[in-house]
Chains A and B, each alone.
Chain A
Amino acid sequence: MKWRRTAVAVALVILGVALQTTLFVRLRPFEASPALALLVTLAVSRHLGRVPALLVGFCTGLLLDLLSETALGLWALVLTTVAFATVRLRHRFEDDVTLLIPGVFLLSFIGLALYALLGTIFGAQTLADAQVVRKMLLPAVYNTILAPLVLPPITRLIGPQGGGRPGWDR
Protein backbone atom coordinates (compact mmCIF):
# COMPACT_ATOMS: atom_id res chain seq x y z
CA MET A 1 0.00 0.00 0.00
CA LYS A 2 2.83 2.37 0.96
CA TRP A 3 4.69 1.52 -2.21
CA ARG A 4 1.58 2.12 -4.28
CA ARG A 5 1.24 5.58 -2.75
CA THR A 6 4.89 6.33 -3.38
CA ALA A 7 4.62 5.06 -6.97
CA VAL A 8 1.56 7.26 -7.57
CA ALA A 9 3.46 10.18 -6.02
CA VAL A 10 6.41 9.61 -8.37
CA ALA A 11 4.07 9.39 -11.38
CA LEU A 12 2.39 12.65 -10.32
CA VAL A 13 5.74 14.36 -9.95
CA ILE A 14 6.86 13.26 -13.42
CA LEU A 15 3.57 14.48 -14.87
CA GLY A 16 3.98 17.76 -12.98
CA VAL A 17 7.49 18.29 -14.35
CA ALA A 18 6.41 17.36 -17.89
CA LEU A 19 3.48 19.81 -17.72
CA GLN A 20 5.67 22.49 -16.18
CA THR A 21 8.16 22.29 -19.05
CA THR A 22 5.75 21.86 -21.98
CA LEU A 23 2.45 23.58 -21.18
CA PHE A 24 4.02 26.93 -20.45
CA VAL A 25 6.28 27.32 -23.48
CA ARG A 26 3.81 29.74 -25.07
CA LEU A 27 1.11 30.07 -22.43
CA ARG A 28 2.77 32.58 -20.14
CA PRO A 29 0.36 35.16 -18.72
CA PHE A 30 2.37 38.26 -17.75
CA GLU A 31 5.53 36.47 -18.90
CA ALA A 32 5.43 34.01 -16.01
CA SER A 33 4.29 30.46 -15.37
CA PRO A 34 3.27 28.47 -12.28
CA ALA A 35 5.89 26.47 -10.40
CA LEU A 36 3.89 23.31 -10.97
CA ALA A 37 6.61 20.87 -9.88
CA LEU A 38 6.91 22.74 -6.59
CA LEU A 39 3.13 22.66 -6.12
CA VAL A 40 2.96 18.92 -6.79
CA THR A 41 5.85 18.31 -4.36
CA LEU A 42 3.99 20.31 -1.75
CA ALA A 43 0.72 18.46 -2.42
CA VAL A 44 2.36 15.04 -2.30
CA SER A 45 4.33 15.87 0.87
CA ARG A 46 1.06 16.47 2.71
CA HIS A 47 0.18 12.80 2.44
CA LEU A 48 3.31 10.68 2.35
CA GLY A 49 5.36 9.59 5.34
CA ARG A 50 7.94 12.13 6.44
CA VAL A 51 11.04 10.50 5.01
CA PRO A 52 9.38 9.41 1.71
CA ALA A 53 8.08 12.99 1.35
CA LEU A 54 11.63 14.32 1.68
CA LEU A 55 12.94 11.75 -0.80
CA VAL A 56 10.23 12.63 -3.32
CA GLY A 57 11.11 16.33 -2.90
CA PHE A 58 14.81 15.60 -3.41
CA CYS A 59 14.23 13.41 -6.49
CA THR A 60 11.83 15.93 -8.06
CA GLY A 61 14.44 18.63 -7.56
CA LEU A 62 17.12 16.42 -9.05
CA LEU A 63 14.94 15.81 -12.11
CA LEU A 64 14.47 19.58 -12.52
CA ASP A 65 18.23 20.07 -12.16
CA LEU A 66 18.90 17.50 -14.85
CA LEU A 67 16.45 19.22 -17.19
CA SER A 68 17.98 22.65 -16.68
CA GLU A 69 21.43 24.15 -17.12
CA THR A 70 21.89 25.19 -13.50
CA ALA A 71 24.21 23.39 -11.10
CA LEU A 72 23.07 19.89 -10.20
CA GLY A 73 21.57 19.89 -6.69
CA LEU A 74 20.10 23.42 -6.56
CA TRP A 75 16.50 22.44 -7.17
CA ALA A 76 17.05 19.28 -5.14
CA LEU A 77 17.97 21.40 -2.13
CA VAL A 78 15.04 23.77 -2.69
CA LEU A 79 12.38 21.09 -3.09
CA THR A 80 13.74 19.04 -0.19
CA THR A 81 13.33 22.18 1.93
CA VAL A 82 9.79 22.73 0.62
CA ALA A 83 8.92 19.09 1.40
CA PHE A 84 10.43 19.40 4.89
CA ALA A 85 8.50 22.61 5.61
CA THR A 86 5.28 21.01 4.35
CA VAL A 87 5.82 17.93 6.49
CA ARG A 88 6.38 20.15 9.54
CA LEU A 89 3.34 22.32 8.86
CA ARG A 90 0.83 19.80 7.55
CA HIS A 91 -0.88 19.18 10.88
CA ARG A 92 -1.65 22.89 11.08
CA PHE A 93 -3.06 22.73 7.56
CA GLU A 94 -5.27 19.81 8.62
CA ASP A 95 -6.45 21.66 11.73
CA ASP A 96 -7.31 24.83 9.85
CA VAL A 97 -7.93 24.41 6.12
CA THR A 98 -8.04 28.20 5.64
CA LEU A 99 -4.29 28.17 6.32
CA LEU A 100 -3.67 25.90 3.35
CA ILE A 101 -4.02 28.49 0.57
CA PRO A 102 -1.83 31.14 2.24
CA GLY A 103 0.52 28.28 3.10
CA VAL A 104 0.82 27.33 -0.59
CA PHE A 105 1.60 30.93 -1.49
CA LEU A 106 4.18 31.31 1.25
CA LEU A 107 5.95 28.00 0.63
CA SER A 108 6.02 28.63 -3.14
CA PHE A 109 7.42 32.11 -2.65
CA ILE A 110 10.00 30.96 -0.10
CA GLY A 111 11.05 28.06 -2.35
CA LEU A 112 11.58 30.37 -5.35
CA ALA A 113 13.35 32.96 -3.20
CA LEU A 114 15.66 30.26 -1.87
CA TYR A 115 16.36 29.15 -5.45
CA ALA A 116 17.14 32.74 -6.48
CA LEU A 117 19.49 33.16 -3.54
CA LEU A 118 21.28 29.83 -4.06
CA GLY A 119 21.46 30.45 -7.81
CA THR A 120 23.32 33.68 -7.18
CA ILE A 121 25.66 32.07 -4.65
CA PHE A 122 26.48 29.31 -7.13
CA GLY A 123 27.00 31.58 -10.16
CA ALA A 124 23.66 31.47 -12.02
CA GLN A 125 23.22 35.27 -11.57
CA THR A 126 19.56 34.84 -10.65
CA LEU A 127 19.50 37.96 -8.47
CA ALA A 128 20.99 39.95 -11.38
CA ASP A 129 17.71 39.24 -13.14
CA ALA A 130 15.79 42.53 -13.52
CA GLN A 131 12.51 40.66 -12.98
CA VAL A 132 13.58 38.59 -10.00
CA VAL A 133 10.78 39.75 -7.70
CA ARG A 134 8.16 39.14 -10.39
CA LYS A 135 9.61 35.70 -11.08
CA MET A 136 9.18 34.78 -7.42
CA LEU A 137 5.85 36.48 -6.87
CA LEU A 138 3.81 35.55 -9.97
CA PRO A 139 4.51 31.79 -9.88
CA ALA A 140 3.58 31.83 -6.19
CA VAL A 141 0.31 33.62 -7.07
CA TYR A 142 -0.38 31.15 -9.90
CA ASN A 143 0.31 28.24 -7.56
CA THR A 144 -2.16 29.70 -5.08
CA ILE A 145 -4.79 29.96 -7.83
CA LEU A 146 -4.09 26.41 -9.03
CA ALA A 147 -3.99 24.91 -5.53
CA PRO A 148 -7.76 24.24 -5.31
CA LEU A 149 -7.53 22.40 -8.66
CA VAL A 150 -4.37 20.42 -7.88
CA LEU A 151 -4.52 19.56 -4.16
CA PRO A 152 -7.92 17.77 -3.96
CA PRO A 153 -7.24 15.31 -6.83
CA ILE A 154 -3.84 14.48 -5.37
CA THR A 155 -5.44 13.92 -1.97
CA ARG A 156 -7.91 11.55 -3.62
CA LEU A 157 -5.14 9.68 -5.44
CA ILE A 158 -2.72 9.32 -2.55
CA GLY A 159 -5.17 9.24 0.31
CA PRO A 160 -5.27 11.11 3.58
CA GLN A 161 -2.15 11.98 5.53
CA GLY A 162 -0.64 9.52 7.99
CA GLY A 163 0.39 6.72 5.69
CA GLY A 164 3.98 6.45 6.80
CA ARG A 165 4.99 3.52 8.98
CA PRO A 166 5.91 4.53 12.56
CA GLY A 167 9.66 4.68 12.04
CA TRP A 168 9.37 6.68 8.84
CA ASP A 169 6.63 8.97 9.94
CA ARG A 170 8.19 10.47 13.05
Chain B
Amino acid sequence: MWRPSGVDRSTLAFIGLVVLSLVLVTVDLRASGEGIGGTLRDGVQTAFTPVQEGVGFVTRPVVAFFEGISDLVGIRDENRRLRLQVTDLERQLAETESLQRRVAELEEILAIEPPGELDTVAARVLATGPSDFDAIRLIDKGRSDGITIDMPVIDEGGLVGRVVSVTETSARVRLITDPTMRVAVRVERTGETGILTGRGGGLLQLEMFNTNAALIAGDLLVTADGRFPAGIPVARVTEDAEAEVGFSLITRAAPEAELSRVDYVKVLLFTSDQTGSLEGSEDDPAQPPLETTTTTTTAGTGTEPGSTTSP
Protein backbone atom coordinates (compact mmCIF):
# COMPACT_ATOMS: atom_id res chain seq x y z
CA MET B 1 0.00 0.00 0.00
CA TRP B 2 1.28 3.48 -0.84
CA ARG B 3 2.06 5.77 2.01
CA PRO B 4 4.00 9.05 2.18
CA SER B 5 7.63 8.52 3.08
CA GLY B 6 8.39 9.29 6.72
CA VAL B 7 4.82 8.69 7.87
CA ASP B 8 4.40 5.44 9.76
CA ARG B 9 1.38 3.17 9.64
CA SER B 10 0.01 4.19 13.04
CA THR B 11 0.02 7.88 12.07
CA LEU B 12 -1.90 7.05 8.91
CA ALA B 13 -4.34 4.95 10.96
CA PHE B 14 -4.74 7.84 13.40
CA ILE B 15 -5.49 10.31 10.61
CA GLY B 16 -7.95 7.84 9.07
CA LEU B 17 -9.78 7.32 12.37
CA VAL B 18 -9.94 11.07 13.04
CA VAL B 19 -11.46 11.63 9.60
CA LEU B 20 -13.90 8.76 10.20
CA SER B 21 -14.89 10.29 13.56
CA LEU B 22 -15.51 13.68 11.95
CA VAL B 23 -17.60 12.06 9.21
CA LEU B 24 -19.65 10.27 11.90
CA VAL B 25 -20.17 13.52 13.80
CA THR B 26 -21.30 15.31 10.64
CA VAL B 27 -23.65 12.52 9.54
CA ASP B 28 -25.14 12.19 13.02
CA LEU B 29 -25.66 15.93 13.42
CA ARG B 30 -27.28 16.17 9.99
CA ALA B 31 -29.62 13.31 10.92
CA SER B 32 -30.39 15.06 14.26
CA GLY B 33 -29.87 11.84 16.19
CA GLU B 34 -32.28 9.89 13.97
CA GLY B 35 -31.35 7.52 11.12
CA ILE B 36 -28.54 5.02 11.53
CA GLY B 37 -27.17 6.85 14.58
CA GLY B 38 -30.49 6.64 16.39
CA THR B 39 -30.97 2.99 15.48
CA LEU B 40 -27.43 2.14 16.60
CA ARG B 41 -27.95 4.00 19.88
CA ASP B 42 -31.16 2.11 20.59
CA GLY B 43 -29.55 -1.22 19.72
CA VAL B 44 -26.39 -0.68 21.74
CA GLN B 45 -28.32 0.69 24.71
CA THR B 46 -30.65 -2.32 24.65
CA ALA B 47 -27.69 -4.70 24.49
CA PHE B 48 -25.70 -2.84 27.13
CA THR B 49 -28.51 -2.35 29.66
CA PRO B 50 -28.22 -5.92 31.07
CA VAL B 51 -24.45 -5.38 31.49
CA GLN B 52 -25.12 -2.12 33.35
CA GLU B 53 -27.79 -3.82 35.47
CA GLY B 54 -25.37 -6.62 36.35
CA VAL B 55 -22.48 -4.31 37.19
CA GLY B 56 -24.84 -2.00 39.08
CA PHE B 57 -26.13 -4.94 41.12
CA VAL B 58 -22.59 -6.00 42.04
CA THR B 59 -21.33 -2.49 42.86
CA ARG B 60 -24.41 -1.29 44.77
CA PRO B 61 -23.12 -2.56 48.18
CA VAL B 62 -19.80 -0.81 47.58
CA VAL B 63 -21.58 2.44 46.79
CA ALA B 64 -23.85 2.00 49.81
CA PHE B 65 -20.81 1.48 52.04
CA PHE B 66 -19.13 4.70 50.92
CA GLU B 67 -22.41 6.58 51.10
CA GLY B 68 -22.91 5.33 54.65
CA ILE B 69 -19.52 6.70 55.63
CA SER B 70 -20.21 10.09 54.10
CA ASP B 71 -23.69 10.20 55.67
CA LEU B 72 -22.27 9.70 59.17
CA VAL B 73 -20.73 13.13 58.95
CA GLY B 74 -23.28 15.69 60.06
CA ILE B 75 -26.00 13.20 60.93
CA ARG B 76 -26.74 14.97 64.24
CA ASP B 77 -27.30 18.32 62.54
CA GLU B 78 -29.44 16.61 59.95
CA ASN B 79 -31.53 15.04 62.73
CA ARG B 80 -32.10 18.41 64.42
CA ARG B 81 -32.98 20.04 61.12
CA LEU B 82 -35.45 17.26 60.29
CA ARG B 83 -37.21 17.60 63.68
CA LEU B 84 -37.74 21.30 62.98
CA GLN B 85 -38.93 20.46 59.50
CA VAL B 86 -41.45 17.91 60.84
CA THR B 87 -42.93 20.53 63.18
CA ASP B 88 -43.16 23.00 60.34
CA LEU B 89 -44.71 20.45 57.98
CA GLU B 90 -47.31 19.42 60.56
CA ARG B 91 -48.37 23.05 60.80
CA GLN B 92 -48.46 23.35 56.99
CA LEU B 93 -50.48 20.13 56.73
CA ALA B 94 -53.13 21.49 59.04
CA GLU B 95 -53.31 24.67 56.98
CA THR B 96 -53.47 22.71 53.73
CA GLU B 97 -56.31 20.51 54.97
CA SER B 98 -58.26 23.58 55.90
CA LEU B 99 -57.56 25.12 52.46
CA GLN B 100 -58.54 21.91 50.67
CA ARG B 101 -61.90 21.93 52.42
CA ARG B 102 -62.47 25.52 51.34
CA VAL B 103 -61.41 24.78 47.74
CA ALA B 104 -63.76 21.78 47.59
CA GLU B 105 -66.62 23.91 48.85
CA LEU B 106 -65.88 26.66 46.35
CA GLU B 107 -65.54 24.18 43.47
CA GLU B 108 -68.89 22.74 44.40
CA ILE B 109 -70.43 26.17 44.41
CA LEU B 110 -68.87 27.04 41.03
CA ALA B 111 -69.48 23.54 39.57
CA ILE B 112 -65.84 23.18 38.49
CA GLU B 113 -64.47 19.72 37.62
CA PRO B 114 -61.48 18.90 39.82
CA PRO B 115 -58.20 18.55 37.88
CA GLY B 116 -57.46 15.08 36.54
CA GLU B 117 -54.74 12.94 38.01
CA LEU B 118 -51.70 11.80 36.09
CA ASP B 119 -50.53 8.21 35.86
CA THR B 120 -46.90 7.70 36.76
CA VAL B 121 -44.32 4.97 36.36
CA ALA B 122 -41.79 4.53 39.14
CA ALA B 123 -38.33 3.68 37.86
CA ARG B 124 -34.86 3.05 39.18
CA VAL B 125 -31.79 4.91 37.93
CA LEU B 126 -29.48 2.33 36.37
CA ALA B 127 -26.67 4.38 34.99
CA THR B 128 -25.30 7.82 34.42
CA GLY B 129 -23.88 9.44 31.28
CA PRO B 130 -20.37 8.39 30.24
CA SER B 131 -18.83 11.62 31.52
CA ASP B 132 -19.53 14.48 33.90
CA PHE B 133 -20.44 16.58 30.87
CA ASP B 134 -23.42 14.34 30.14
CA ALA B 135 -26.25 15.32 32.50
CA ILE B 136 -28.05 12.09 31.59
CA ARG B 137 -29.53 9.26 33.67
CA LEU B 138 -30.61 5.87 32.35
CA ILE B 139 -33.76 4.46 33.97
CA ASP B 140 -35.00 0.87 33.93
CA LYS B 141 -38.39 1.55 32.34
CA GLY B 142 -39.03 2.13 28.68
CA ARG B 143 -41.50 2.02 25.84
CA SER B 144 -43.12 -1.17 27.13
CA ASP B 145 -44.13 0.73 30.28
CA GLY B 146 -45.77 3.51 28.30
CA ILE B 147 -42.86 5.95 28.42
CA THR B 148 -42.32 8.18 25.42
CA ILE B 149 -39.93 11.00 24.56
CA ASP B 150 -40.44 14.34 26.34
CA MET B 151 -42.24 12.95 29.39
CA PRO B 152 -41.34 14.76 32.63
CA VAL B 153 -39.45 12.93 35.35
CA ILE B 154 -39.67 13.83 39.05
CA ASP B 155 -38.34 12.64 42.38
CA GLU B 156 -39.66 13.33 45.88
CA GLY B 157 -38.29 16.89 45.69
CA GLY B 158 -39.44 18.02 42.28
CA LEU B 159 -38.58 18.05 38.59
CA VAL B 160 -35.55 15.93 37.67
CA GLY B 161 -35.62 16.30 33.88
CA ARG B 162 -37.31 14.95 30.80
CA VAL B 163 -37.07 11.78 28.73
CA VAL B 164 -34.92 12.28 25.63
CA SER B 165 -34.72 8.75 24.23
CA VAL B 166 -36.50 5.47 24.84
CA THR B 167 -35.86 1.81 24.10
CA GLU B 168 -38.23 -1.05 24.92
CA THR B 169 -36.78 -1.54 28.39
CA SER B 170 -34.98 1.67 29.27
CA ALA B 171 -35.06 5.41 28.80
CA ARG B 172 -32.57 8.26 29.02
CA VAL B 173 -33.47 11.30 31.05
CA ARG B 174 -31.78 14.67 30.51
CA LEU B 175 -31.40 16.48 33.84
CA ILE B 176 -32.56 20.06 34.29
CA THR B 177 -28.94 21.02 35.01
CA ASP B 178 -27.89 20.32 31.42
CA PRO B 179 -26.88 23.59 29.69
CA THR B 180 -29.24 22.78 26.80
CA MET B 181 -32.26 22.49 29.15
CA ARG B 182 -34.55 25.48 29.61
CA VAL B 183 -37.72 25.32 31.65
CA ALA B 184 -40.37 28.04 31.93
CA VAL B 185 -41.22 28.55 35.60
CA ARG B 186 -43.53 30.59 37.79
CA VAL B 187 -42.60 32.11 41.13
CA GLU B 188 -45.17 30.60 43.46
CA ARG B 189 -45.25 33.64 45.77
CA THR B 190 -45.84 36.28 43.10
CA GLY B 191 -47.06 34.41 40.03
CA GLU B 192 -44.36 36.06 37.89
CA THR B 193 -42.80 33.88 35.20
CA GLY B 194 -39.28 33.36 33.94
CA ILE B 195 -36.89 30.86 32.38
CA LEU B 196 -34.59 28.49 34.24
CA THR B 197 -31.48 27.41 32.38
CA GLY B 198 -29.09 24.61 33.34
CA ARG B 199 -25.47 25.49 34.02
CA GLY B 200 -24.02 22.00 33.89
CA GLY B 201 -24.52 21.25 37.58
CA GLY B 202 -25.14 22.94 40.91
CA LEU B 203 -27.26 26.06 40.69
CA LEU B 204 -29.54 26.96 37.79
CA GLN B 205 -29.85 30.40 36.22
CA LEU B 206 -33.22 32.14 36.50
CA GLU B 207 -34.12 34.98 34.15
CA MET B 208 -37.43 36.74 34.80
CA PHE B 209 -39.66 38.11 32.06
CA ASN B 210 -40.86 40.98 34.24
CA THR B 211 -37.76 42.76 35.40
CA ASN B 212 -39.69 44.74 38.01
CA ALA B 213 -40.61 41.61 39.97
CA ALA B 214 -38.25 41.30 42.90
CA LEU B 215 -37.15 37.85 43.98
CA ILE B 216 -36.48 36.78 47.54
CA ALA B 217 -34.16 33.95 48.53
CA GLY B 218 -36.34 30.93 49.27
CA ASP B 219 -38.97 31.69 46.61
CA LEU B 220 -40.24 28.42 45.16
CA LEU B 221 -40.25 28.07 41.37
CA VAL B 222 -42.77 25.69 39.83
CA THR B 223 -43.27 24.54 36.27
CA ALA B 224 -45.14 26.85 33.96
CA ASP B 225 -44.03 25.19 30.78
CA GLY B 226 -46.26 23.58 28.19
CA ARG B 227 -44.10 20.48 28.13
CA PHE B 228 -44.70 19.71 31.81
CA PRO B 229 -47.77 19.67 34.05
CA ALA B 230 -48.10 23.00 35.81
CA GLY B 231 -47.07 23.35 39.42
CA ILE B 232 -44.23 20.82 39.79
CA PRO B 233 -41.57 22.27 42.12
CA VAL B 234 -38.39 22.86 40.14
CA ALA B 235 -36.03 25.02 42.16
CA ARG B 236 -35.74 27.53 44.98
CA VAL B 237 -34.20 30.98 44.57
CA THR B 238 -30.92 31.23 46.46
CA GLU B 239 -30.17 34.95 46.20
CA ASP B 240 -32.42 38.00 46.51
CA ALA B 241 -32.58 39.87 43.23
CA GLU B 242 -33.90 43.18 42.04
CA ALA B 243 -33.35 44.50 38.55
CA GLU B 244 -31.63 47.74 37.85
CA VAL B 245 -33.54 49.94 35.41
CA GLY B 246 -33.20 48.68 31.86
CA PHE B 247 -31.47 45.47 32.80
CA SER B 248 -32.77 41.93 32.88
CA LEU B 249 -33.46 40.28 36.20
CA ILE B 250 -31.19 37.29 36.59
CA THR B 251 -30.43 35.24 39.68
CA ARG B 252 -29.58 31.70 40.78
CA ALA B 253 -31.80 28.89 42.00
CA ALA B 254 -31.06 25.49 43.55
CA PRO B 255 -32.90 22.45 42.14
CA GLU B 256 -35.50 20.97 44.49
CA ALA B 257 -34.78 17.45 43.26
CA GLU B 258 -31.82 15.61 44.76
CA LEU B 259 -30.03 15.44 41.43
CA SER B 260 -26.62 14.38 42.66
CA ARG B 261 -27.97 11.28 44.42
CA VAL B 262 -31.08 10.46 42.46
CA ASP B 263 -31.88 6.76 42.78
CA TYR B 264 -35.61 6.29 42.20
CA VAL B 265 -37.72 8.56 40.04
CA LYS B 266 -41.26 8.80 38.71
CA VAL B 267 -42.03 9.35 35.06
CA LEU B 268 -45.24 11.29 34.59
CA LEU B 269 -47.20 9.75 31.73
CA PHE B 270 -47.86 13.18 30.34
CA THR B 271 -47.41 14.61 26.87
CA SER B 272 -47.50 18.28 26.04
CA ASP B 273 -50.72 17.92 23.99
CA GLN B 274 -52.49 17.06 27.25
CA THR B 275 -52.25 20.73 28.11
CA GLY B 276 -54.06 21.69 24.96
CA SER B 277 -52.36 24.11 22.67
CA LEU B 278 -48.91 24.21 24.18
CA GLU B 279 -45.91 23.26 22.17
CA GLY B 280 -42.20 23.97 22.23
CA SER B 281 -38.75 22.65 21.78
CA GLU B 282 -35.94 22.61 24.26
CA ASP B 283 -34.65 25.93 22.98
CA ASP B 284 -38.05 27.49 22.98
CA PRO B 285 -40.08 26.35 25.94
CA ALA B 286 -43.69 27.33 25.71
CA GLN B 287 -44.29 30.14 28.11
CA PRO B 288 -47.66 31.76 28.41
CA PRO B 289 -50.92 29.86 28.69
CA LEU B 290 -50.56 28.31 32.10
CA GLU B 291 -54.27 28.55 32.61
CA THR B 292 -54.88 25.86 29.97
CA THR B 293 -53.08 23.22 32.03
CA THR B 294 -55.65 21.15 33.82
CA THR B 295 -53.48 18.64 35.59
CA THR B 296 -51.91 18.75 38.98
CA THR B 297 -49.31 16.50 40.40
CA THR B 298 -47.83 15.76 43.73
CA ALA B 299 -44.15 14.96 43.80
CA GLY B 300 -43.28 11.82 45.68
CA THR B 301 -41.90 8.37 45.16
CA GLY B 302 -43.74 6.32 47.61
CA THR B 303 -44.30 3.44 45.22
CA GLU B 304 -42.25 0.49 44.21
CA PRO B 305 -40.62 0.65 40.79
CA GLY B 306 -42.61 -0.98 38.12
CA SER B 307 -45.99 0.01 39.45
CA THR B 308 -48.23 2.39 37.60
CA THR B 309 -49.98 4.71 39.96
CA SER B 310 -51.71 8.00 40.22
CA PRO B 311 -49.87 10.46 42.42
* A residues adjacent to B (C-beta < 8 A): 14-15, 17-28, 31-33, 35, 37, 50-51, 54-55, 57-58, 61-77, 80-81, 84, 87, 112, 115-116, 119, 122-126, 128-132, 135, 138-139, 167-168, 170
Contacts and interface: CB of A to CB of B under 8 A. Distances in A.
Contacts of B59: 19, 22-23
B67 A76 contact: no
A62 B126 CA distance: 20
A73 B200 contact: no
Given A76-B21, A84-B10, A25 B29 contact: no
Main SS at interface, chain A? helix
B149 to A, nearest CB: 12
Contact of A126 (B48, B52, B133, B138): B133
A66 B10 contact: no
B62 interface: yes
B22 A18 contact: no
Contacts of A22: 52, 55-56, 59, 126-128
B44 A129 contact: no
B129 interface: yes
A40 to B, nearest CB: 12
B131 A139 contact: yes
Nearest to B43: A66
Given A50-B8, A65-B24, 4 more contacts: A27-B62, A27-B63, A71-B29, A76-B17
B98 interface: no
A51 B21 contact: no
A73 B23 contact: yes
A139 B66 contact: no
Interface residues of B, number: 61
B43 to A, nearest CB: 8
Contacts of A125: 179-180
Contacts of B260: 26, 28, 31
Contact of B33 (A25, A69, A73, A74): A69
Contacts of B141: none
A112 B201 contact: no
A10 to B, nearest CB: 13
Interface in B10-51: 10, 13-14, 17-18, 20-25, 27-29, 33, 37, 40-41, 44-45, 48, 51
B227 interface: no
B186 interface: no
5 contacts: A14-B51, A21-B128, A54-B10, A73-B20, A131-B200
B213 interface: no
A17 B130 contact: yes
B44 A67 contact: yes
Interface string B61-84: 011001100000000000000000
A128 B179 contact: yes
B172 interface: yes
Contacts of B55: 15, 18-19, 22-23
